Amino acid sequence: MNTRMRRAAVAVAATAMALSLAACGSAAESDENKDSSDSAAAEKGDAIKVGLLLPENQNARYEKFDKPLIEKKVKELTNNKGEVVYANAKQDTTLQSQQVDTMITNKVDVLIVDAVDSKAIAGSINKAKSQDIPVVAYDRLAEGPIDAYTSFDNVTVGKTQGEALLEALGDKAKDGQIVMMNGASTDPNAAQFKEGAHAVLDGKVNIGREYDTKEWKPENANSNMQAAISALGKDKIIGVYSANDGMASGVITALKRAGIADIPVTGQDAELAGVQRIIAGEQYMSVYKSYPQEATVAAEMAVALAKGESLDSIAKEKVDSATTKGIPTVLIPVVSLTKDNIKETVVKEGYYTLDEICSGNYKAACDKIGLK
């Protein structure tokens, strides 16, 4: 990474940090915004029950970061009186709607939902709302009458991945074909990553094959990649756009099996295994997203909604979903993660220690790139 890019990355991280601090301050101020008409919610005080629904557990982020961070923040915002009830849908749409039903029966005060399928969840959200349970859409913009939404700037995620791939290909960008491994079509984020990537890549590279990968599964990415290699020929593929790290692992396994080495592969999520592949030179980049910031905003939104408070001091933006207009929203900026900024990002924010990253076989690779 050149100096200009590094400065830009640090600036984004600083903005993001300021944003999170601003968001932290807002909870304390929001008392003035209390809506006195909603007396049941106002009487609730801090003993709030938050229902947290996450979509899957094969990507590390959900149970390593999102869940514990949201739990911690809810405790902080409620003088330790709040409680998070958790369910993971393991990629199953029907299971997720049953989990919502259970949470409604258990009388949660508010829901934070990261939908497996953003359209299919709308019925459950309607059900919750009919019981006066407000809903925060987390990370993926669920359809139905949600009250608030927080995520990253997902079109920018796709652009960041596309730009990194172009940077890695340099003047060889048209000397062969690239393969695009997009995420699941049930996830609106996948469409945004894809849109951002196409905006950058179209016309600059030849796209030999492109897939929407069922359920974001690494094994599906692996079989799609094997099919692409058979169709295009192993000598023709010069790079792979993979929408996240989990799928990048499936892609890289297929590349290795075919004897293809040294081509750039993108990713997202800054998973430990992804960071280690970056160090080893197997994966070119990932996208670093600050889960502490996203979790903080979600917890603040949930607690404010449960208490019947306004979201004005938390959410300055508004977005529209296919079903609902003007949803109060916080979108968090992202940073391109390459071997050049591992310390300033995932290590600095405490995701992993250098010892964890550079453990075992990765020690030599860390030494080689001067990471210590």
Where does this chain bind ligand BGC (CB under 6 A)? 56, 59, 61, 139-140, 183, 187, 189, 216, 244, 268-269
Minimum distance, C-beta of residue 25 to ligand BGC, in the bound complex (Å): 26
Minimum gap (Å) between residue 111 Cβ and ligand BGC: 17
Beta carbon nearer to ligand BGC, 20 or 192: 192
Rounded to the nearest whole angstrom, what is the least distance from the CB of residue 19 to ligand BGC in the complex? 18
Nearer to ligand BGC, 173 or 252 (CB): 252
Distances 97 to 117, 123, 132, 193, 211 between C-alpha atoms, Å = 10, 8, 17, 26, 27
Sign of CA dihedral 36, 37, 42, 48: negative
The residue among 59 and 290 lying less far from ligand BGC, judged by its C-beta, is 59
- The strands making up 148-152's β-sheet, listed across from edge to edge, are 83-88, 49-54, 110-113, 135-138, 148-152, 327-332, 317-319
Of 194 and 307, the one with the shorter C-beta distance to ligand BGC is 194
Of 108 and 116, which CB lies nearer to ligand BGC in the complex structure? 116
Q: Which is nearer to ligand BGC, 177 or 283 (CB)?
A: 283
In the 8-state DSSP scheme, what is residue 118?
A: T
DSSP annotation string for 47-60: --EEEEEE--SSST
Shortest Å, Cβ 194 to ligand BGC: 12
The minimum distance between CB 269 and ligand BGC, in angstroms, equals 5
Helix boundaries (H) for the chain: 3-29, 39-43, 61, 67-77, 93-105, 122-130, 154-169, 188-201, 218-232, 245-257, 272-279, 291-306, 354-357, 362-368
Q: How far is the CB of 246 from ligand BGC (least distance, A)?
A: 6
Nearer to ligand BGC, 229 or 331 (CB): 331
Strand 135-138 with 110-113, pairing: parallel
Q: Within 10 A of 295 (CB to CB), how many other CB atoms are there?
A: 24
- Name the helix (H) or strand (E) containing 241: strand 237-242
Q: How far is the CB of 59 from ligand BGC (least distance, A)?
A: 5
Label residue 322 exposed, middle or buried (CB < 10 Å: 0-12, 13-18, 19+).
exposed
